Amino acid sequence: MPVARYRAANLAMWDESVDIHVRSDFYGVDRFKAGETTLEPMEPAEMDDVRGKSLLHLQCHFGMDTLSWAREGAIVTGIDFSSAAIQAASRLSEESGVPGRFVESELYDASEVLDEKFDVVYTGIGALCWLPDIRGWSRVVGHFLKPGGVFYILEGHPMMWTLADETAEDPMHIAWPYFETTQPQNPDGWINEEDYSQTGEKLQNTRTFSWGHGLGEIVTALIDEGLRIEFLHEHRVCGWRAFPWMVKGEDGMWRVPNHPERLPLMWSLRAVKEA
C-alpha cells in the first residue's frame, strides 16, 4: 500500500473522530471553555515564557493545546490535515473567546500554505507516530522557525510505542518496530472499532497506520536542520492511560506500577535554531 493510501485511511479516521472528541469527557471541551488548560504540567515550565511570541502548532487536531498556549500569552497558529478538525478548532476559538488561527494542510506541504516564520514551533503528544518520514518532519520544523526561535515537543516515548498492550506489565513484551521503517509498524493496520476517547461510540473508519521513530533518529534529524538541543528529558509519567496496567497518581499522571525504572513513558525536548 503506498503512503498516499495510508494517509487517506488515517485522515478518514481523524475526520470521523473530531465530532466524537468534541463531545467527549476525555477531551473536556466544557472544562476548557471554563478556563482549564489541556497542557501537561511540565510543558509551560519547560517551554518557558511565550507571552507575545508567535507560535505554530504542528498537527494541532481541534486546537485545544493550541488555544491553551494562547492562554499562556502566545499568538497562535494551528495546522492540521483534517478539515473537520480545523473547522472545530475555529469554532472552539470563537466560542471560548481565545484567539487563534487555524490552517488546513498536510504537514509536509505546510510551507505551501503558510509564508511566514515563527518564534516558537510546537509539537504535542500523539503526533509523530502518524508520520512516515521523520526527516521530512524536521525540515518543516526548521523551515518555520525564525533564527533564534525555539522548538519544543512533548511526546509519548518511542520505546513505549513498541510494547504489546494486550500482555501483562511484568514482563513487558516488545512487539513492534522501534526504528523508522518503510512500512508502518503494523503493515496490516490497527483496527480500532471504538474511538480512544472512551465514549463507546463505534467508528466506521477503523483501520489506521502508524510508524516508529527512534529517539536518536528524531534528535539527529533536528540537529541536521540547524537546531541546537538545549535539553532532552525522559519522563516516568504519562499524560494518559496508554496501557491497561498503568496506575494513576495523585497528580493525575499515569505510571508503571512495578519497576518504573524499566520504561520511559514520555520525552520532551527544547531546541533553538541557530542564527
Q: What is the pTM of this model?
A: 0.96
pLDDT at 64: 98
pLDDT above 70 as % of the chain:
100
Pairing of strands 101-104, 247-248: unpaired
- Structural class in CATH, domain 3-155+177-236+267-273: alpha beta
pLDDT at 185: 92
pLDDT at 201: 84
pLDDT at 267: 98
Q: What is the pLDDT of residues 76-112, one digit of tens each?
A: 999 999 999 999 999 999 999 999 999 999 999 999 9
What stretches in the chain show pLDDT beneath 70? 1
User: What are the sequence ranges of the domains in the chain?
Assistant: 3-155+177-236+267-273
